[in-house]
Amino acid sequence: MKHEKTVKELLEVLGGKDNISNYEHCATRLRVVLKDDDVVDKEEAENITENKGYFYSTGQHQFVFGTGLLTKYTLILNKKCQEVPLPTPIHRSKKTLMQI
């Protein structure tokens, strides 16, 4: 899938999911704050599939993807960046006073 490829390239350019401090998006841009900004190669960032532009400003790496794509990318990024899966809830049996 093309969107999966784009997110994979994005994570590689950003130094992996462990290097991401925070990310958000507006209608056209993905904004990413990193723990280590030095790992990003500007030329590689500009050549990410479907990326229409890249720049670094005010501590944020900004990728321009255009309208309509960022929701898809963010859903995939959320899935890939999920820190630790939530534990499975423990289901305890409910006993009434009559059963004790």
Backbone angles phi, psi at 7, to 5 degrees: -65, -40
Q: Which of 4, 22, 24, 26 is catalytic?
A: 26
Q: pTM of this prediction? A: 0.75
- Write out the CATH class of domain 2-81: alpha beta
Structural domain spans, the chain: 2-81
Q: Does the active-site annotation cover 81?
A: no
CA atoms within 13 A on the CB side of 42: 3
What does the pLDDT look like over 40-81, one tens digit per residue?
999 999 999 999 999 999 999 999 998 878 888 888 888 888
